[in-house]
């Protein structure tokens, strides 16, 4: 019953936020690659180091403990400048037991997720309000279409690790709960939109004690 309620809330939030979503792609470049001005290096002096990212070397021993929330290590244009203009990026996701990556969207790219360890329950909602779900095991892949609201959930008691590829160097992330309940939208608008009461809206807002 709790999972059915969770899926219902997901669909309602997705439909409420869908009109706000804007999708776009990376622009084409006219050179082989782009060197940020901050580097001040001529192209002929660039080495393989510029095209190398080592952030995924982080081991379990060096990750925060205890692990109560999602750990997302991003290899995007901000963290890995060589990706500028290449229309690709990765994120490594580490899910503690019973951890949820809340409903969110990537406005500039589709997401192709592969489970490396453990298992995940995933899903997305299309523009008609239909929910697509799947339970994934290690080695399984799942694609989240560009700009659609989606989530991942580690139902098990063991950690899960996944790797997500994006068709953009800067796919962007819009966290639906935080965007809807944490950005100052008027309480009257929220109560009418979700057909609920003021106190329920207050409980869902990040500043409330229940979410601390």
In angstroms, the CA 117 to CA 72 distance is 15
In angstroms, the CA 88 to CA 68 distance is 29
Q: Is 210 known to sit in a ligand binding site?
A: no
Residue bearing tokens 């580690």: 154
In angstroms, the CA 140 to CA 78 distance is 28
Q: Is 207 known to sit in a ligand binding site?
A: no
Q: Is the separation of the CB atoms in 109 and 146 below 8 Å?
A: yes
Per-residue DSSP letter, 147: T
Cis peptide before 122 (omega within 30 of 0): no
Structural element, H or E, at residue 163: strand 160-166
Residue 13 CB neighbours (<10 A): 21
Q: How many helices (H) does the chain have, and how many strands (E)?
A: 4, 10
The residues facing 122 across adjacent strands are 134, 152
Residue 157 CB neighbours (<10 A): 9
How far, in whole angstroms, is CA 136 from its chain's centroid? Answer: 17
Question: Binding site: residue ranges?
Answer: 101, 104, 106, 111, 150
Question: Binding site for Mn(2+): residue ranges?
Answer: 104, 106, 111, 150
Question: Binding site for oxalate: residue ranges?
Answer: 101, 106, 111
């Amino acid at each position: 019953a709790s999972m059915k309620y969770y899926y219902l809330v997901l669909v309602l939030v997705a439909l409420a936020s869908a009109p706000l979503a804007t999708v776009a792609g990376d622009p084409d470049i006219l050179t082989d690659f782009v060197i940020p001005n901050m580097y001040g290096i001529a192209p002929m002096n660039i080495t393989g180091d510029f095209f190398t990212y080592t952030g995924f070397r982080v081991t379990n021993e060096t990750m925060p403990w205890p692990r109560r929330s999602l750990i997302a290590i991003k290899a995007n244009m901000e963290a890995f400048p060589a990706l500028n203009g290449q229309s690709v990026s990765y994120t490594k996701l580490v899910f503690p037991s019973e951890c949820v990556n809340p409903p969110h969207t990537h406005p500039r790219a589709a997401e192709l997720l592969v489970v490396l360890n453990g298992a995940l329950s995933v899903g997305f909602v299309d523009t008609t309000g239909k929910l697509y779900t799947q339970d994934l095991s290690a080695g399984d892949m799942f694609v989240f279409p560009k700009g659609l609201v989606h989530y991942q959930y580690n139902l098990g008691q063991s950690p899960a690790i996944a790797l997500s590829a994006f068709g953009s160097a800067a796919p962007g992330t819009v966290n639906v709960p935080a965007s809807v309940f944490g950005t100052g939208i008027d309480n009257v608008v929220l109560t009418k939109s979700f057909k609920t009461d003021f106190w329920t809206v207050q409980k869902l807002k990040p500043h409330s004690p229940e979410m601390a």
